[in-house]
């Protein structure tokens, strides 16, 4: 996330430099991560954009192409990175991530253990939450996936906050060096119950654990294992429903006291006292409706707190 200085504080309060990673925003569903290179160009449907024109501009700037088209240059925040990163595995999205950060009580200075790393979506948010003095140790059993995640963390500037390890946490558990030191542990594993005993040993007294599972059978078995050494066990499912809010033209000539089947009555913005509906048969109305792109079930989040001995 672009480190500002040696204190590892994440900040975007500076201008874009050669070598920076920026999020090129065309529209809400069309974004891409681009590394700024002074002699490079970006070509898209809006024209050709010279990277040299980007250098020295603050994040959030609107830049123009040779054809007069434009894009926005945004900072690679964890939220935007989640939307543009390469999907090496199924990732956690913003709704689940926000609950994980909150319920695990991750704050600056925390030591967080994570398994598995996957595409690194959650890891990036963990890094911002623990900065500037905390650290995230994330593990994946797949060596190439771990190497790709390590490269991504270098690109986004959080490598001083994240250490990536290759390890089978289900079979071998977490390294003993973290015993009793972790504030929080996050598990995204096929059989999380196998790693729960090791996670318990890593946690401080009153430390918190979260397990993400796509199937309820995984949740049930994990909860059985958690009962012996954990308390405050709870499972949540986050269902996010997006809405589209936009202005439409209403044809009042087709509305018949709310009884017309062609144009059913809807809530709409009230016209001003100076305007008359009769003056214009078609007037704008602000309407909201569920988005067709709304995602459903992603998985179950099980939280628990280590019992105090």
Are 185 and 147 part of one and the same domain?
Answer: yes
Are 32 and 140 part of one and the same domain?
Answer: no
Residue 208 located in a structural domain: yes
Residue 264 located in a structural domain: no
Are 155 and 302 part of one and the same domain?
Answer: yes
CA distances (Å), origin 179, targets 113, 115, 183, 194? 11, 16, 11, 17
Are the CB atoms for 174 and 200 separated by under 8 Å? no
Are 48 and 173 part of one and the same domain?
Answer: no
Of 25, 51, 76, which one is at a domain's C-terminal end? 76
Q: In terms of Cα–Cα distance, which of 103, 126, 116, 140 is closest to 192?
A: 116
**pTM exceeds cut of 0.85:** no
Identify the DSSP state of 177: G
Q: Is 198 exposed, middle or buried (0-12, 13-18, 19+ CB in 10 A)?
A: buried
- 229 labelled ligand-binding: no
Are 62 and 194 part of one and the same domain?
Answer: no
Pairing of strands 300-306, 70-74: unpaired
Are 62 and 105 part of one and the same domain?
Answer: no
Domain, as residue range, for 169: 80-239+295-306
Tokens, residue 174: 């977490």
- 152 labelled ligand-binding: no
Beta-strand ranges (E) seen in the chain are: 21-27, 30-35, 41-44, 47-50, 61-64, 70-74, 111-115, 135-140, 162-166, 182-187, 203-213, 230-237, 243-251, 282-290, 300-306
pLDDT at residue 176 above 80?
A: yes
Q: In terms of Cα–Cα distance, which of 22, 21, 2, 23 is closest to 11?
A: 2
237-286 pLDDT, tens digit each: 998 888 888 887 766 555 555 554 444 555 544 554 444 444 555 678 88
Q: What spatial distance separates the first Cα and last Cα of the chain, rounded to whole Å?
A: 39
54-102 pLDDT, tens digit each: 999 999 999 999 999 999 999 999 999 999 988 888 888 899 999 999 9
Are 71 and 20 part of one and the same domain?
Answer: yes
Are 32 and 173 part of one and the same domain?
Answer: no
Of 29, 49, 76, which one is at a domain's C-terminal end? 76
Residue 252 located in a structural domain: no
Are 191 and 42 part of one and the same domain?
Answer: no
Residue 220 located in a structural domain: yes
- 5 labelled ligand-binding: no
Are 130 and 228 part of one and the same domain?
Answer: yes
pLDDT at residue 44 above 50?
A: yes
How many structural domains compose the chain?
A: 2
- 120 labelled ligand-binding: yes
Are 186 and 211 part of one and the same domain?
Answer: yes
What span, in angstroms and rounded, lies between the C-alpha atoms of 300 and 218? 9
Q: In terms of Cα–Cα distance, which of 44, 31, 43, 45 is closest to 84?
A: 31
Residue 247 located in a structural domain: no
Residue 7 located in a structural domain: no
Of 46, 76, 106, which one is at a domain's C-terminal end? 76
- 96 labelled ligand-binding: no
Q: Which residues contact 272 (CB under 8 A, 6 or more apart)?
A: none
Q: In terms of Cα–Cα distance, which of 235, 241, 206 is closest to 220?
A: 235
283 DSSP β-pair partners:
250
Tokens, residue 107: 């704050």
Pairing of strands 135-140, 162-166: parallel
144-170 pLDDT, tens digit each: 999 999 999 998 889 999 999 999 999
- 119 labelled ligand-binding: yes
Confidence of residue 7 (pLDDT cuts 50, 70, 90): very low
Are 22 and 134 part of one and the same domain?
Answer: no
Q: In terms of Cα–Cα distance, which of 149, 157, 159 is closest to 117?
A: 149
């Amino acid at each position: 996330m672009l480190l500002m200085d040696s204190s590892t504080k994440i900040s975007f309060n500076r201008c874009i430099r050669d070598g920076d990673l920026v999020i090129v925003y065309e529209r809400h569903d069309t974004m891409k991560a681009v590394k700024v290179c002074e002699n490079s160009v970006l070509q898209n449907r809006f024209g050709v954009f010279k990277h040299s024109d980007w250098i020295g501009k603050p994040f959030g700037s609107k830049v123009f192409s040779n054809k007069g088209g434009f894009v926005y240059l945004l900072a690679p925040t964890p939220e935007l990175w989640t939307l543009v990163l390469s999907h090496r595995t199924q990732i956690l999205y913003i709704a689940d991530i926000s609950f994980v950060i909150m319920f695990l009580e991750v704050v600056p200075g925390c030591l967080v253990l994570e398994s598995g790393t996957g595409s690194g979506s959650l890891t990036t948010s963990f890094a911002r939450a623990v900065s500037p003095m905390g650290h995230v140790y994330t593990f994946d059993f797949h060596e190439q996936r771990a190497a790709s995640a390590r490269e991504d963390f270098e690109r986004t500037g959080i490598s001083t906050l994240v250490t990536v390890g290759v390890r089978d946490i289900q079979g071998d558990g977490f390294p003993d060096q973290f015993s009793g030191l972790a504030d929080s542990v996050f598990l995204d594993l096929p059989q999380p119950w196998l790693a729960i005993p090791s996670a318990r040993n890593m946690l401080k007294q009153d430390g918190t654990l979260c397990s993400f599972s796509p199937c309820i059978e995984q949740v049930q078995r994990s909860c059985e294992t958690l009962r012996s050494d954990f308390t405050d066990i709870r499972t949540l499912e986050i269902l996010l429903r997006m809405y589209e809010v936009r202005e439409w033209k209403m044809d009042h000539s087709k509305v018949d006291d709310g009884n017309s089947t062609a144009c059913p009555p809807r809530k709409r913005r009230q016209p001003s006292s100076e305007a008359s509906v009769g003056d214009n048969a078609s007037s704008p109305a602000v309407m909201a409706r569920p988005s067709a792109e709304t995602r459903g079930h992603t998985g179950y989040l099980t939280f628990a707190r280590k019992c105090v001995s």
